[in-house]
C-alpha cells in the first residue's frame, strides 16, 4: 500500500508531457530518459529531477540487453527479462547483479521501484 501511495504522489508531482503514448509493459523495449527519482530520505519524501548536468537513460534492447547510462557513462549493462502481471504492472528481472524491481506503466511513463525510491522514465524512441 505504501508503494501505491508513493506512485500516486509521483504522478501528481510529475507534470510530464505525453509525446509517446505508452500504455503497456509490452512497449518497454527501446530507449527511456530518466525524469525523476522520488523517495524517503531520513524522515522526508524527496524528489530529484533530471537536468542538463544530471541525466540518465535506459536502453531495453529487443534481444534482452539492459544498458543504463548516467551522464553518457555506462552505469550498468546486463541481461533482463520482464514478468508481466497485467498490461500496466510487472517485474523487471536483472541478471547481474541479480535483482528484481517492480515496474509500472502510469500516465505513459515507466516507473521503476528501487528500494524506497521510484524512478520515472519517458520513452525516447
Whether residue 20 is contained in a domain is answered as no
**For the chain, how many structural domains are there in total?**
1
CA separation, residue 18 to residues 13, 81, 116, 123, 124 (Å): 15, 26, 26, 9, 11
Whether residue 57 is contained in a domain is answered as yes
Which single residue is written with the C-alpha cell 540518465? 56
Range of the domain at 41: 2-10+25-123
| CATH number, domain with residue 97 | 2.40.128
Of 69, 32, 21, 71, nearest to 51 (Cα)? 71
pLDDT 10s digits, 38-93: 998 877 889 999 999 999 999 999 999 999 999 999 999 999 999 999 999 999 99
Where is average pLDDT lowest: 22-26, 78-82, 109-113?
22-26
Amino acid at each position: 500500500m505504501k508503494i501505491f501511495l508513493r506512485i500516486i504522489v509521483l504522478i501528481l508531482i510529475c507534470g510530464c508531457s505525453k509525446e509517446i503514448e505508452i500504455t503497456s509493459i509490452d512497449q518497454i523495449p527501446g530507449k527511456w530518459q530518466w525524469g525523476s527519482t522520488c523517495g524517503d530520505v531520513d524522515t522526508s519524501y524527496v524528489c530529484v529531477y533530471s537536468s542538463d548536468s544530471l541525466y540518465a537513460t535506459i536502453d531495453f534492447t529487443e534481444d534482452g540487453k539492459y544498458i543504463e547510462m548516467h551522464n553518457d557513462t555506462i552505469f550498468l549493462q546486463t541481461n533482463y527479462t520482464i514478468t508481466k502481471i497485467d498490461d500496466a504492472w510487472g517485474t523487471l528481472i536483472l541478471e547481474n547483479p541479480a535483482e528484481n524491481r517492480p515496474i509500472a506503466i502510469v500516465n505513459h511513463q515507466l516507473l521503476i521501484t528501487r528500494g524506497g525510491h521510484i524512478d520515472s522514465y519517458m520513452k525516447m524512441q
